[in-house]
């Protein structure tokens, strides 16, 4: 089985931390060592900024956890690379450029995203951009 590197976008990370489903299974697979999740400081910052949104407060409370605990659990299973320099690629949402820069700098094999701006690319410099379902289905067949 390929133990390549995977970069998750922030929406996938938040979904994985707060709900069950394919994004959560991706975290479990990474925790088991099936592949390596890679991230960078700007993605972690964005994850924290999303988790503090009021719309997630009741879900976090229902899970009997905290943003700090969710962050620690994520950080315990990812490799954090130094913040890469990002180039302007996605003009409609420049915040997404950090996902591409992280994938390129970390030599990731895949980018997993729920973001249409990233998914519309289909691939970035040879790195496939897949939905969680697409990635799970293609990866789990190996």
What letter does residue 95 receive in the DSSP assignment? G
Residue ranges per structural domain of the chain: 5-140
Per-residue pLDDT of the chain (142 residues; tens, 9 = 90+): 457 999 999 999 999 999 999 999 999 999 999 999 999 999 999 999 999 999 999 999 999 999 999 999 999 999 999 999 888 888 787 789 999 999 999 999 999 999 999 999 999 999 999 999 999 998 876 6
Contact of 79 with 38, CB cutoff 8 Å: yes
Domain 5-140 sits in CATH 1.10.10.10 = no
The whole-angstrom separation of Cα 132 and Cα 138 is: 10
């Amino acid at each position: 089985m390929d133990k390549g590197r995977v970069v998750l976008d922030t929406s996938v990370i938040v979904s994985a931390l707060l709900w069950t489903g394919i994004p959560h299974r991706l975290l479990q697979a990474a925790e088991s060592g099936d592949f390596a999740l890679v991230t960078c400081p700007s993605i972690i910052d964005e994850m924290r900024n999303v988790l503090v949104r009021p719309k997630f407060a009741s879900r976090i409370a229902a899970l009997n956890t905290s943003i700090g605990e969710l962050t620690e659990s994520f950080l315990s299973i990812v490799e954090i690379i130094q913040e890469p320099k990002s180039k302007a690629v996605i003009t409609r949402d420049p915040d997404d450029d950090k996902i591409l820069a992280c994938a390129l700098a970390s030599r990731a094999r895949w980018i997993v995203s729920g973001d249409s701006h990233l998914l519309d690319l289909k691939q970035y410099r040879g790195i496939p951009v897949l939905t969680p379902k697409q990635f799970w289905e293609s990866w789990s067949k190996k």
